[in-house]
Structure 1
């Protein structure tokens, strides 16, 4: 009978190579889930920072006249 696994268990299985130690694939194994427990929280924070930066850049560029913007791009 098949057992159901949670996401962490199934990710561990997928990221664990079945090759012998020292094989080429063994060197390139990686974890699908991050080790850092705060990863997803930090990812959301970074996304919020990028959004704020994009809005500030948009505000800056909208404030420039077409001629000033053209000169800025050319320099």
Structure 2
């Protein structure tokens, strides 16, 4: 019964991939670039001890912890 339900699934998947052959790589590239740019933007964040202390004080607030999660490090 399950085999009959998925009988033409390979044809359907092939059709979808063929139809979106331009859109899928663009989305994958955009997601990859966005992830790399987001990660690289954090490298210069909180460079001095005072900045790190200020964010540590801010993160002691339960509302901030609920919004962004617990701090690490």
Say which structure is richer in helix.
2
TM-score scaled to structure 2, two decimals? 0.46
TM-score scaled to structure 1, two decimals? 0.45
